[in-house]
Amino acid sequence: MSSIYFFRGKAATGKTTITNILSSKINVSILRKDDIFDVLSHCIRNNPQNNSISYDLLSKLIQTNINNKTDIIVDIGLSDTNEWRTFQSKLDFKDCKTFTFLCDCSDLVIWKMRFIERLKNPTPNQYFNTIEEAIAYYKKIEIELLDNEYYVDSSDSIENILGFIREKISG
Protein backbone atom coordinates (compact mmCIF):
# COMPACT_ATOMS: atom_id res chain seq x y z
CA MET A 1 0.00 0.00 0.00
CA SER A 2 1.33 3.41 -0.92
CA SER A 3 1.05 6.63 1.04
CA ILE A 4 0.51 9.90 -0.80
CA TYR A 5 1.18 13.15 1.03
CA PHE A 6 -0.55 16.11 -0.63
CA PHE A 7 0.36 19.70 0.19
CA ARG A 8 -2.00 22.30 -1.24
CA GLY A 9 -2.57 25.98 -0.57
CA LYS A 10 -1.94 29.53 -1.65
CA ALA A 11 1.31 30.71 -3.18
CA ALA A 12 4.13 31.54 -0.76
CA THR A 13 2.66 29.59 2.15
CA GLY A 14 5.65 27.30 2.55
CA LYS A 15 4.60 24.20 0.60
CA THR A 16 7.94 23.83 -1.18
CA THR A 17 10.01 24.50 1.93
CA ILE A 18 7.94 22.06 4.00
CA THR A 19 7.98 19.32 1.34
CA ASN A 20 11.73 19.68 0.78
CA ILE A 21 12.49 19.18 4.46
CA LEU A 22 9.86 16.46 4.93
CA SER A 23 11.21 14.58 1.91
CA SER A 24 14.69 14.43 3.39
CA LYS A 25 13.35 13.38 6.82
CA ILE A 26 11.13 10.52 5.61
CA ASN A 27 13.06 9.65 2.44
CA VAL A 28 10.12 10.07 0.05
CA SER A 29 10.33 11.67 -3.40
CA ILE A 30 8.39 14.81 -4.33
CA LEU A 31 6.26 15.56 -7.39
CA ARG A 32 5.63 19.25 -7.98
CA LYS A 33 2.98 20.61 -10.33
CA ASP A 34 4.99 23.82 -10.70
CA ASP A 35 8.05 21.90 -11.96
CA ILE A 36 5.96 20.36 -14.73
CA PHE A 37 4.44 23.77 -15.57
CA ASP A 38 7.86 25.44 -15.72
CA VAL A 39 9.26 22.84 -18.15
CA LEU A 40 6.18 22.97 -20.37
CA SER A 41 6.28 26.78 -20.42
CA HIS A 42 9.23 26.58 -22.82
CA CYS A 43 6.94 25.17 -25.51
CA ILE A 44 3.41 26.07 -24.36
CA ARG A 45 2.96 29.81 -23.93
CA ASN A 46 -0.75 29.66 -23.14
CA ASN A 47 -0.90 29.52 -19.30
CA PRO A 48 -4.40 27.99 -18.97
CA GLN A 49 -3.49 25.27 -21.49
CA ASN A 50 -0.16 24.66 -19.76
CA ASN A 51 -1.91 24.45 -16.40
CA SER A 52 -4.41 21.90 -17.70
CA ILE A 53 -1.68 19.73 -19.24
CA SER A 54 0.45 20.05 -16.08
CA TYR A 55 -2.39 18.76 -13.89
CA ASP A 56 -3.13 15.93 -16.35
CA LEU A 57 0.53 14.85 -16.33
CA LEU A 58 0.72 15.13 -12.56
CA SER A 59 -2.39 12.98 -12.11
CA LYS A 60 -0.86 10.30 -14.39
CA LEU A 61 2.39 10.33 -12.40
CA ILE A 62 0.52 10.09 -9.11
CA GLN A 63 -1.63 7.23 -10.40
CA THR A 64 1.47 5.35 -11.57
CA ASN A 65 2.95 5.69 -8.08
CA ILE A 66 -0.31 4.51 -6.49
CA ASN A 67 -0.47 1.50 -8.82
CA ASN A 68 3.16 0.65 -8.03
CA LYS A 69 2.55 1.09 -4.30
CA THR A 70 5.18 3.84 -4.07
CA ASP A 71 5.06 6.58 -1.46
CA ILE A 72 5.25 10.16 -2.76
CA ILE A 73 4.89 13.73 -1.60
CA VAL A 74 2.87 15.99 -3.91
CA ASP A 75 3.32 19.78 -3.87
CA ILE A 76 0.30 20.78 -5.86
CA GLY A 77 -1.02 24.27 -5.14
CA LEU A 78 -4.76 23.94 -5.77
CA SER A 79 -5.85 26.26 -3.00
CA ASP A 80 -9.32 26.44 -4.59
CA THR A 81 -11.39 23.74 -2.89
CA ASN A 82 -13.52 22.98 -5.96
CA GLU A 83 -10.47 22.61 -8.21
CA TRP A 84 -8.91 20.32 -5.58
CA ARG A 85 -12.01 18.10 -5.57
CA THR A 86 -11.98 17.95 -9.38
CA PHE A 87 -8.31 16.95 -9.39
CA GLN A 88 -8.90 14.23 -6.78
CA SER A 89 -11.71 12.77 -8.89
CA LYS A 90 -9.12 11.90 -11.59
CA LEU A 91 -7.36 9.48 -9.24
CA ASP A 92 -8.19 5.97 -8.09
CA PHE A 93 -6.98 5.76 -4.50
CA LYS A 94 -7.44 1.99 -4.16
CA ASP A 95 -4.87 0.41 -1.84
CA CYS A 96 -3.55 3.84 -0.92
CA LYS A 97 -3.41 6.00 2.20
CA THR A 98 -3.67 9.72 1.56
CA PHE A 99 -2.77 12.60 3.80
CA THR A 100 -3.69 16.10 2.70
CA PHE A 101 -2.31 19.24 4.28
CA LEU A 102 -3.81 22.65 3.52
CA CYS A 103 -0.97 25.14 3.90
CA ASP A 104 -1.68 28.70 4.88
CA CYS A 105 0.10 31.57 6.59
CA SER A 106 -2.10 33.21 9.21
CA ASP A 107 0.35 36.10 9.68
CA LEU A 108 -0.40 38.46 6.79
CA VAL A 109 2.85 40.38 7.28
CA ILE A 110 4.94 37.19 6.98
CA TRP A 111 2.94 36.00 3.95
CA LYS A 112 3.35 39.35 2.19
CA MET A 113 7.11 39.34 2.87
CA ARG A 114 7.44 35.81 1.46
CA PHE A 115 5.40 36.75 -1.56
CA ILE A 116 7.45 39.88 -2.27
CA GLU A 117 10.64 37.80 -1.91
CA ARG A 118 9.32 35.36 -4.55
CA LEU A 119 8.70 38.21 -6.95
CA LYS A 120 12.43 38.99 -6.98
CA ASN A 121 13.15 35.73 -8.88
CA PRO A 122 9.92 34.87 -10.69
CA THR A 123 9.38 31.48 -12.29
CA PRO A 124 6.97 30.76 -15.17
CA ASN A 125 4.33 29.32 -12.81
CA GLN A 126 3.95 32.60 -10.89
CA TYR A 127 0.73 34.23 -12.08
CA PHE A 128 0.74 37.25 -9.80
CA ASN A 129 2.89 40.30 -10.40
CA THR A 130 1.96 42.00 -7.14
CA ILE A 131 0.80 41.02 -3.68
CA GLU A 132 -2.39 42.99 -4.34
CA GLU A 133 -3.21 40.74 -7.32
CA ALA A 134 -2.72 37.66 -5.15
CA ILE A 135 -4.90 38.99 -2.34
CA ALA A 136 -7.68 39.92 -4.79
CA TYR A 137 -7.53 36.47 -6.44
CA TYR A 138 -7.63 34.54 -3.17
CA LYS A 139 -10.60 36.59 -1.94
CA LYS A 140 -12.61 35.41 -4.98
CA ILE A 141 -12.06 31.67 -4.62
CA GLU A 142 -13.31 29.14 -2.09
CA ILE A 143 -10.57 27.91 0.21
CA GLU A 144 -11.79 25.61 2.93
CA LEU A 145 -10.38 22.87 5.08
CA LEU A 146 -12.09 19.61 4.15
CA ASP A 147 -12.95 16.84 6.60
CA ASN A 148 -10.04 14.67 5.52
CA GLU A 149 -7.40 17.42 5.62
CA TYR A 150 -5.01 18.88 8.16
CA TYR A 151 -4.35 22.60 8.49
CA VAL A 152 -0.71 23.72 8.48
CA ASP A 153 0.03 27.30 9.49
CA SER A 154 3.41 28.18 8.03
CA SER A 155 3.79 31.14 10.37
CA ASP A 156 4.64 28.51 13.00
CA SER A 157 8.22 27.23 13.33
CA ILE A 158 9.36 24.59 10.85
CA GLU A 159 10.13 22.25 13.78
CA ASN A 160 6.54 22.49 15.03
CA ILE A 161 5.16 22.07 11.53
CA LEU A 162 7.25 18.95 10.86
CA GLY A 163 6.36 17.53 14.27
CA PHE A 164 2.66 18.01 13.54
CA ILE A 165 2.95 16.42 10.09
CA ARG A 166 4.95 13.44 11.37
CA GLU A 167 2.40 12.91 14.15
CA LYS A 168 -0.44 12.83 11.59
CA ILE A 169 1.27 10.50 9.12
CA SER A 170 2.56 8.06 11.72
CA GLY A 171 -0.52 7.77 13.84
- The dihedral over CA atoms of 125, 30, 104, 9, expressed in degrees to the nearest 10, equals 50
E strand intervals along 42-81:
72-77
Question: Does the pTM of the predicted model rise above 0.85?
Answer: yes
Asked, for residue 7, whether it belongs to a domain, the answer is yes
| 153-162 per-position pLDDT tens digit | 999 999 999 9
Asked, for residue 155, whether it belongs to a domain, the answer is yes
Nearest residue to 7 (alpha-carbon basis) of 156, 171, 157, 150 = 150
| 59-88 per-position pLDDT tens digit | 999 999 999 999 999 999 999 999 999 999
Asked, for residue 170, whether it belongs to a domain, the answer is no
Asked, for residue 66, whether it belongs to a domain, the answer is yes
Asked, for residue 168, whether it belongs to a domain, the answer is no
Q: Which residues of the chain have pLDDT under 50?
A: none
CATH number at residue 15: 3.40.50.300
- Report yes or no: 16 and 109 within 8 Å, Cβ to Cβ: no
Asked, for residue 171, whether it belongs to a domain, the answer is no
Nearest residue to 103 (alpha-carbon basis) of 31, 165, 35, 34 = 165
Domain that holds residue 13: 2-163
Asked, for residue 50, whether it belongs to a domain, the answer is yes
Q: How many domains does the chain have?
A: 1
